Amino acid sequence: MPRPGQRLKKHALWQKRRSPPRVPAPDPSASNSLHAYAAAYLEWSRVMGYREQGVVMRDKALRRFIRWCDERGLSSPGEITLPILERYQRHLYQVRKADGQPLAFTSQQALLVPLKGWFKWLTRSRHTLTNPASELMLPRTPLRLPMHVLTVAEVDHLINQADVSHISGIRDRAILETLYSTGLRRMELASLAVYDWSRAQGALSVRQGKGGRDRVVPIGERAAAWLTRYADEVRPQLVIEPDDGALFLTDYGEAFGKNRLGDMVRRHLDYAGITTPGSCHLLRHACATHMLENGADIRFIQALLGHADLNSTQIYTQVSITKLKQIHAATHPARLRRDRGDPAQRVANPWRRGANASGDVSGRW
C-alpha cells in the first residue's frame, strides 16, 4: 500500500474509471398522492431561499415518512393525526441499522424536524384544517463531548505524514494545515474557491457555511505558506480545463467531495497510528481546544468556528482541562508533595511509617 502522496507522479493525472450510473430501485410508494404535496413544499422551500443541501435533506426525510405511510394505507394529509406521527416517532426509535445499532437521537430528530415544517406549510396553505405536528415533541439530543482531542504533538505527527516530495503530498499537507489552522468544517473546505483566499489579508472567505452564513476566518502563517506552495506549484498541474475555480483538487482534477476529503484525512490518521474515530472534525476540535488552552477568548473561537449559538462553542471549555488541571494542582489540598516550611499544611497519612494516633508524622516531611 503506497504512502500518502505517492500515488500521483508529476505531470501525470490518473484516468478516472467511468462506471455506468446506478439505476435506483423503483419506489413502491411512487403513486401515493402525498408525494405531490411534498414536491410542492420543496419547491416553496427553494423559492423562499433555503439552501439546496437543506432541501435535499428535507426530501429524504419526507420520502422516508411517505413510504411508511404508504405501507399503512395513508395517502392524504388529512388522514395523518398526532397519534400517527407519534407512532412514526416510535418506529424511528425501534429502527436498527445494518450493524444492529439504533438510530442516534440526532438522526431521529433530523427525520422529524422536516415533518413539523411540512405540516406547518400544509396548514398555512389550507391543505389541512389543523397542524397535527404542532404538539409533536422531539427527542432530546444529548450534548456529547468529543471522544478524543488530538494533542499538539499528535497533530504535528499527523501533518508530517504527507510526503511533500510529490505534488499530491503537497496538496494533502496544505489541506491538513488549513483544517487545523482555521477549524473549517469538511464541506466548507471542499467548497472553497480560488477567489475565497485573500493572500493580502491572510484570510479565507467561507461562503454559505452551516446555516447559510458567510464568514471570514484568518489562516496562520504556516498554513498560508503551504497553501501558497500548493496554489503556485501544484494546482496548475492538477487542474483540467474548463477550470471551475475549486481551490483544492483531487488526483483526477476534480473538486473534493466531502466523503473523498474525509477518506484522505482518515488515511493520514491511519499512517500516523491515530485510531480515534473521525477525520476532518478531529482537526476542528483540536484547533478550538488548543486555542482555548492558550488563552483565546471563547467569543473569538465562536466566530472562527461559525457557531450561531455560544452554547455550541462552550463544549470546548469542558474538553480543555489544561487550565483546570493547573488550578486543581495549585489549590486542592490532597497533593503528593507540600511546602516543607508550612507545618499547617501537613496532612495525616496513616500509611506513612511513623504516624501516631493523632496523625503526627515522625521523621522528615
CB count within 10 Å of CB 247 equals 23
- What does the alpha-carbon distance between residue 199 and residue 362 come to, in Å, rounded to a whole number? 68
| 220 and 304 fall within a common domain | yes
* Domain final residue, candidates 319, 335, 352: 319
pLDDT confidence of residue 351: 46
pLDDT confidence of residue 340: 55
In a domain, 355, yes or no: no
**Given the C-alpha cell 501525470, which residue does it identify?**
12
Would the CA dihedral through 75, 80, 85, 90 be positive or negative? Answer: negative
| 159 and 221 fall within a common domain | yes
pLDDT confidence of residue 295: 84
In a domain, 91, yes or no: yes
| 169 and 298 fall within a common domain | yes
| 184 and 103 fall within a common domain | no
| 119 and 266 fall within a common domain | no
Residue type, 125: S
Q: Active site residue: 210, 258, 260, 266, which one?
A: 210
HSE on the CB side for 97, CA within 13 Å? 7
The reported pTM is 0.71
Q: Are 84 and 74 in contact (CB under 8 A)?
A: yes
Q: β-strand 215-218 against 197-198: which pairing, if any?
A: unpaired
| 54 and 173 fall within a common domain | no
pLDDT confidence of residue 325: 75
Helix or strand (DSSP H, E) at 60 = helix 52-71
Our count of domains for the chain comes to: 2
In a domain, 136, yes or no: no
In a domain, 169, yes or no: yes
Q: Active site residue: 41, 180, 230, 316, which one?
A: 316
Reduced to 3 states (helix: H, G, I; strand: E, B; else coil), residue 272 is coil
| 102 and 225 fall within a common domain | no
| 279 and 160 fall within a common domain | yes
In a domain, 8, yes or no: no
CATH at 51: 1.10.150
In a domain, 129, yes or no: no
Q: What are phi and psi of 263, to 5 degrees?
A: -65, -40
Q: Are 162 and 155 in contact (CB under 8 A)?
A: no
Annotated active-site residue 97? The verdict is no
* Domain final residue, candidates 105, 124, 143: 124
Annotated active-site residue 93? The verdict is no
| 174 and 111 fall within a common domain | no
In a domain, 25, yes or no: no
pLDDT confidence of residue 294: 87
| 169 and 238 fall within a common domain | yes
Tens digit of each residue's pLDDT, the chain (365 residues)? 445 444 444 445 555 566 676 777 778 888 899 999 999 999 999 999 888 888 999 999 999 999 999 999 999 999 999 999 999 999 999 999 988 999 999 899 999 999 999 999 999 999 999 999 999 999 887 767 667 888 999 999 999 999 999 999 999 999 999 999 999 999 999 999 999 999 999 999 998 777 778 899 999 999 999 999 999 999 999 998 888 899 999 998 889 988 899 999 999 999 999 988 888 989 999 998 899 888 888 889 888 888 877 777 777 766 666 677 777 788 888 876 655 555 444 444 444 444 444 444 344 33
Cell numbers representing residue 284 in the block: 476542528
Q: Are 221 and 212 in contact (CB under 8 A)?
A: no
Q: Which residues of 156-165 are buried (b: 16+ CB within 10 A; e: fewer)?
A: ebbbebbbbe
| 63 and 211 fall within a common domain | no
Reported as a single tens digit per residue, the pLDDT across 59-115 is: 999 999 999 999 999 999 999 999 999 999 999 999 999 889 999 998 999 999 999
Annotated active-site residue 157? The verdict is no
How many helices (H) and strands (E) are present in the chain, helices listed first? 15, 3
* Domain final residue, candidates 301, 319, 337: 319
Annotated active-site residue 281? The verdict is yes
pLDDT confidence of residue 193: 93
Q: Are 274 and 160 in contact (CB under 8 A)?
A: no
Q: Are 301 and 292 in contact (CB under 8 A)?
A: yes
Annotated active-site residue 285? The verdict is no
- What does the alpha-carbon distance between residue 319 and residue 59 come to, in Å, rounded to a whole number? 36
Q: Which residues form the domain of 238?
A: 152-319
Residue type, 321: I
| 221 and 304 fall within a common domain | yes
CATH at 214: 1.10.443.10
Q: Active site residue: 185, 268, 285, 290, which one?
A: 185
Query: Quick one: which of 239, 193, 230, 234 has its CA closest to 214?
Result: 193
Annotated active-site residue 210? The verdict is yes
